Amino acid sequence: MSTLLQISSISKNFGEKQVLDNVSLDVQEGKVVVILGPSGCGKSTLLRCINGLEKIDGGTIKFKEEPYSKDSDWQTIRQQIGMVFQSYELFPHMTVMGNLTLAPIKVQKRDKKDVETKALELLERVGLADRADAYPHQLSGGQKQRIAIVRALCMNPTLMLFDEVTASIDPEMVYEVLQVIKDLKGQGMTMMIVTHEMGFARNVADEIIFMDGGHIVEQASPADFFANPQTERAKQFLSKFLYTM
């Protein structure tokens, strides 16, 4: 299996605060990497660096063996690396279908009819085909987040990044969003997921990355990490959570 993403000794500073410190990680095609750790440890910043929303201060990132640089075509890269955030960031004045088709038509210059067909197929897959003509204010938080995921998928990405996508929705709606991500795993989508949902992390991950203080502290399979964490910091972290074994 080929390496889709290579992160080598990257660092990131915000002023005098070092948020990422010598972080290295390979992501294999078709695998799901779940990143865990306390708030402020650098998890979200790592995803934002991968998507080019933050520029790294040191080290290298390679996507499909091509290194990022100041001259990288970020518009093209972001079409291949989809990202879904805590906030849905849907355009309130546009219908669901309008939100889904805008970028594929305007940015990728794809045929409108083909894009709409693709969008409807994806809406069907996430159980929201009947909401194509609805506006964001008419949707629940869980529905909005599923629409945000579909919007990213409409760009036909190779890699999907999820940053705490259940953090802003009602607990009763968490399951439906996480189920969409589990379905993507079944379809072979390569994903990196930042989450505090421990049971979900255990079930969906091929690999767990545990971060603290801008470092990768532990890297293991879900079975090993949850049953037998190797570092005291990971043991302390896990002791704070109630999760299903």
Q: What is the mean pLDDT of residues 198-206?
A: 93
Contact 203, 30 (CB under 8 A): no
pLDDT reported for residue 99: 96
Please state the pTM of the whole predicted model. 0.92
Classify residue 136 by its DSSP letter.
Answer: G
Q: What is the mean pLDDT of residues 180-187?
A: 93
Distance (Å, rounded) from C-alpha 78 to C-alpha 140?
Answer: 27
Neighbouring residues of 21: CB distance < 8 A, sequence distance ≥ 6: 11, 213, 214, 215
pLDDT reported for residue 69: 80
Contact 158, 80 (CB under 8 A): yes
Q: What is the mean pLDDT of residues 37-50?
A: 94
Contact 68, 50 (CB under 8 A): no
pLDDT reported for residue 243: 47
Classify residue 140 by its DSSP letter.
Answer: -
Distance (Å, rounded) from C-alpha 69 to C-alpha 102?
Answer: 28
Q: What is the mean pLDDT of residues 53-74?
A: 89
Give pLDDT tens digits for 28-43: 999 999 999 999 999 9
- The tokens for 27 are 């992501």
